[in-house]
Amino acid sequence: MEKPTDLVEYETMLMGRHVHMSNRSKTTSANLDRSAYILLSRLHMEGPMSIGQLSEAFGLDASTLNRQTAAMLRNGLVERIPDADGGIARKFKVTEEGALRLELARTELVSGLEKVLEGWSAADVAEFAAFLKRFNTDIERLDGRVWPRP
């Protein structure tokens, strides 16, 4: 008989596939790729961050983040600003365009989730969200990288 964790593994694999296929097959009208969406979300929650801070927050090397932020700069999603605390590293700040496109993408993603969860009760949706939050915060605890939440 399968252990409950075997079932969790299988269902998270399928969820990852569904999310990947959804992102690959259609883009939001905001035209944000996954990395831009996640980076913009983090910068929106925490405020301006340097490459070093982003590297620490995401566990990614600076070269990866340099490529991602360069694309975001070219697309007008972020701008470089001096460190308000006087540090030498410049920080990335979400532009008005970046905030607008982030909100547009988020609205479209939430709309898609509402279609999937249409037959669920409000209590079931809330319980599912609570379990997802618990799952994610436990991953963050083990990883040592906490994601800010509203």
Here the CATH number for the domain that contains residue 56 is: 1.10.10.10
Q: State yes or no: pLDDT of 27 exceeds 60.
A: no
> 73-117: per-residue pLDDT in tens?
999 999 999 988 888 889 999 999 999 999 999 999 899 899 999
**Alpha helices, DSSP H, located in 26-121:** 34-46, 51-58, 62-74, 96-116
Q: Is 132 part of any domain? A: no
Residue 33: domain span:
25-117
Q: Is 77 part of any domain? A: yes
pLDDT of residue 74: 96
Tell me the three state secondary structure of residue 49: strand
Q: Is 9 part of any domain? A: no
Q: Is 76 part of any domain? A: yes
Chain centroid offset of residue 65 CA: 14
Which string of DSSP letters, residue by residue, matches 96-136? HHHHHHHHHHHHHHHHHHHHHTTTS-HHHHHHHHHHHHHHH
pLDDT of residue 24: 55
Q: State yes or no: pLDDT of 25 exceeds 70.
A: no
Decide: residue 77, CB within 10 A, 0-12 exposed, 13-18 middle, 19+ buried. buried
Q: Is 11 part of any domain? A: no
How many domains is the chain partitioned into structurally? 1
pLDDT of residue 119: 97
Q: Is 13 part of any domain? A: no
pLDDT of residue 87: 81
Q: Is 12 part of any domain? A: no
> 28-63: per-residue pLDDT in tens?
667 888 899 999 999 999 999 999 999 999 999 999
pLDDT of residue 150: 85
Model confidence band, residue 146 (pLDDT cutoffs 50, 70, 90): very high
pLDDT of residue 85: 80
Chain centroid offset of residue 143 CA: 16
- With contact defined as beta carbons under 8 Å apart, do 92 and 98 qualify? no
Q: Is 17 part of any domain? A: no
Tell me phi and psi for residue 80, to 5 degrees.
-90, 135
Radius of gyration over alpha carbons of the chain, in Å? 18
